[in-house]
Structure 1
């Protein structure tokens, strides 16, 4: 198209710079306003604490220690470390750097990099939605336990309660307190039961806390994490010191780490190690991308990611000492084998550990410490999701990362993830509640719907994008696989040309200012 410079050029709408000329005085006008820049963390520490709060959560406390003792003790660390360096750190770094490079969240980053895969962003947000809904319920349970901990006698320490049935034992008391007093468990999933108003109010409290943690974006979240991400470590150290001083703690730690090399031949051990890495590091949800997008472009995210991953795994390892020292004490007090008291998941937080706390001196104090730690771990994991390529990484951090990282992205990590997925399909068994209750057919169908509602968004978006994009099929695919020109690397490459172009445009405006419309109308000049 003809330009003011008298040069014939092909139209490039995406690269036009529109300049508006007015007749008010000698003003040259204004360049069209740039998109509003994304918020940034006030300092690097806010980013570190926010990511640490997101990845260091309940799984570090109630999942890793159990998997470690279940899968051969110390030898479980061999597959765990292998998955950490081949999958955990590479994926963690990839997601974080993707957000920092594009300065976009979990959805719009794909729109900038490869629009064809924007469905990945939508699918991950569905997963985040489901995760947030169940995490907030766990927070509600914890609040109810915390409020119950201030009583003169812990309610789960006594068998003389209205909800206690059957055997009058310490285990029965804790078990029935959780299932009947807290959950109000019915006979089946088809019997909803009545509203538990105390639990509903705790749920409301949890939602309100989450809202005030994120209501002002990274400005509020960055300040909240100073406390919520560090206080759990204080509580963990207190519980660790207390646990190590209890009788029976040594037996519990030996049970936690005693190696059984024969377990390495069991494929399930490797499966558990891989699932723990993916679960604990919060990858493939878009949250790390969103948190990384608030970084400065040249932040050394490679170093940050390595340190955060090591901190996460170290926290899981140390938490095992705090948990199994207390479980060893409980096993010795009750005269049973420690395998009879070890639990995983919510059973550890709401049955096994409260039962152990009830046997300690000053049980209310230790119960408060434990449940406050659980609340902050869960709150950080809940808050994170709600916050609104190799050469590219070199541009950002200023040096080339470990070459092994590149090969992990290209070959190792995809191969391991594929094998893990296929093995999980082969070993799949229908889910049962408490290993006893089988859900009706429509319960399994509902679970399948939740799974497909996130995964099907990827191919459905591809189909939709191809259908609405103009051109031939080859042109559509090429356009949908082409990165946007306004990402930092493209902008950086064109910076020298733009500087010269801007100087030329200003000179052109000066020489053509006298030719503006005499009626004072605004003229728009397009320069390619």
Structure 2
């Protein structure tokens, strides 16, 4: 017990199951819940999409979430240390996830910085009569696709501020930093976004938007692409497969019901996505009616929805400034709680590998990440660099490592029975052969289909029409670079004090 306590004090730990659940929800509920899910549902059958979405949640999302929980909770380490303790030869899988998280962190911070600026822009509707022209012109100052070093001060300052806040949170540690941030900000996020939804529902034309979103197109259920979209949405929205939940689970006390916590996190995440769909499409219904067009003419996702459509809506709606502050403030909060979870994967790995202090590791990871983020994304080419890296690292980074890790754990090492036994010790939901089938077959097959579908699309037509050299260097280059880094990092020796034997020292009594 003493060795376990010392280990928890060294690495940090969440003070309770409630804090862990709030932190996990904070990681899962991010920008994609607000600006991706509503449009994906609308484009893939409307109300009928909820059927494949729920199937994907139950057959792939939650089972994979339990796998991440089992790995981190059993082996008590960062992603690399967890995989090294699982089998020494699988350590590179953990570093692959670390490299992916590092890249995500440096561009994710930029979007939070944009949302922060737009929170204040909402007060006086700084975008004027042309939100799209303002975004790419006055604000981002984006020219033709390319790479430049021309700094945009209006992005540099809020981006630097975001990184200062993130570094402070990370330096405070697992409980005092990440835990308290989640305990305070997640309730605020739900209250703020709930208020936005209520306001959107009172707008003229809200019912038009809701009809567009929820009117079911049952024929869509016969299309494989709709099911692929559902599995892809669940996978990306739950923060699974790239080290976050492995890391967070390693900070949870042994005597906890991890599958039960997973159900809370999974359904809270999906509940927020549904709430986002209602709020966004109620607002889009108002926008369509005010503009005299169909909802499909104003519906969009991603940056277009957040920074073009919503500003136009804010300019038209009664009490538009309030809607703007609530919407962009929600983006900032959701983005921040997700960003700290992403960068924690990297910090935890560095701490475990080099036995560094919390503050030392936070600075060693955070300062280079902040500098790279500022150099790449506070320039006039930042939006293009961000778009390319985001697309390729999600499709060919996260998806690939997720499929590989599931296949390795389930078929290469055949560790699912022992992981299930671990979760079953205190779990309220017994895991057995059905879980083995979902993790070992259903989830990897579904994600492989999503991956192949994306690959075919990118081969047929260059992503967004970007120059080939940009796609090759920033896109495919990023996807390959994280693998090369993973292999190299796995060759670095662990310090003698770090036990890689899962059946000895601190872990022995707890795993048996």
Specify if TM > 0.5: yes
* Corresponding residue SS for 1:229: helix
Identify the match of residue 327 of structure 2 among 348, 364, 370.
Answer: 370
Q: Is 1:174 matched up with 2:103?
A: no
Q: Which runs of 5+ in 1 are unaligned?
A: 1-30, 160-172, 470-481, 495-528
Question: When the two structures are aligned, how many residues end up with a matched partner?
Answer: 429
How far off is 1:398 after superposition? 7.6
1:86-137 Cα offsets, whole Å, 9 max, x none, are: 2100111110221111221111111111111100110001110111111100
1:340 matched residue in structure 2: 297
Q: Do the aligned partners of 1:58 and 1:374 also contact (CA within 8 Å) in 2? A: yes
Shift of 1:489: 6.2
1:401 aligns with 2:372: no
Change (3 A) 1:126 1:430: farther
- Report deviation, 1:369: 1.4
Corresponding residue number in structure 2 for 1:414:
444
Could you say what secondary structure the match of 1:203 adopts? helix
2:170 to 189, 206, 214: 214
SS in 1 for 2:425: helix
CA distance in structure 1 between the partners assigned to 2:296 and 2:6 by the alignment = 62
Tell me, yes or no, if structure 1 residue 391 matches structure 2 residue 424. Answer: no
Identify which of 442, 451, 454 aligns with 2:479. Answer: 451
Q: 2:316 aligns with which of 342, 359, 368?
A: 359
Distance 1:203 1:368, change over 3 A: same
| CA–CA distance in structure 2, aligned partners of residues 336 and 416 of structure 1 | 37
**Residues 1:425 and 2:382 aligned together:** no
- Please tell me whether residue 439 in structure 1 is matched to residue 412 in structure 2: no
Contact 1:38 1:103 in 2 (8 A): no
Q: Distance in 2 between matches of 1:493 and 1:198?
A: 52
Q: Which residue of 1 aligns with 2:126?
A: 155
In the alignment, what sits opposite 2:107? 134
C-alpha deviation, 1:365, in angstroms: 2.0
RMSD of equivalent CA atoms: 2.5
Once residues 487 and 318 of structure 1 are traced to their aligned partners in structure 2, the CA distance between those partners, rounded to angstroms, is: 46
Cα distance change of structure 1 residues 276 and 116 upon mapping to structure 2, 3 Å threshold: same
Measured after TM superposition, the shift of residue 371 of structure 1 is 1.0
Aligned-partner Cα distance in 2 for 1:398–1:361: 48
The 8 Å contact of residues 74 and 260 in structure 1, kept in 2 or not, is answered as: yes
- 1:505 is aligned to none
Structure 1 residues 238-387: aligned runs within 5 Å = 238-387=195-344
Moved beyond 6 Å, runs of 4+: 459-462
Report the CA distance shift for 1:34/1:145 in structure 2 as closer, same or farther (over 3 A).
closer
Residues 452, 362 of structure 1: alpha-carbon distance in 2 compared, 3 angstrom cutoff? same
Cross-structure match for 1:479? none
Residue equivalent to 1:113: 86
The alignment status of 1:197 with 2:168, answered yes or no, reads no
Measured in 2, the distance between the counterparts of 1:34 and 1:382 equals: 28
Q: Distance in 2 between the 1:143 and 1:458 partners? A: 33
The whole-number CA distance in structure 1 between the counterparts of 2:168 and 2:230 is: 36
Closer, same or farther: CA 263–492 of 1 in aligned 2, 3 Å: closer
- SS of match in other structure, 1:381: helix
TM-score for both structures, normalised by structure 2: 0.78
**What is the TM-score of this pair, normalised by structure 1?**
0.76
Does the CA-based 8 Å contact 1:392-1:489 persist in structure 2? no
Question: Following the alignment from structure 1 to structure 2, what is the Cα–Cα distance between the partners of residues 492 and 197?
Answer: 52
Which has a greater percent of helix? 2
Deviation sequence 1:398-425 (CA, Å, 0-9, x none): 8733652232123322332333333333
Compared with structure 1, are the counterparts of its residues 431 and 488 closer, same or farther at alpha carbon in structure 2 (3 Å cutoff)? farther
Residue in 1 that maps onto 2:403: none
Deviation at 1:429, TM superposition (A): 4.0
Shift in Å, 1:396? 4.6
Once the 2 structures are TM-superposed, how far is the Cα of residue 299 of structure 1 from its aligned partner? Answer: 0.8
User: CA 1:187/1:416 → structure 2, altered by over 3 Å: closer, same or farther?
Assistant: closer
Aligned twin of 1:16: none
Give me the whole-angstrom Cα distance separating, in 2, the residues matched to 1:350 and 1:224: 26
Residue matched to 2:508: 490
Is 1:102 the counterpart of 2:75 in the alignment?
yes
| Inter-partner Cα distance in structure 2 for 1:492 and 1:338 | 56
CA contact (8 A) 2:229 2:450 kept: no
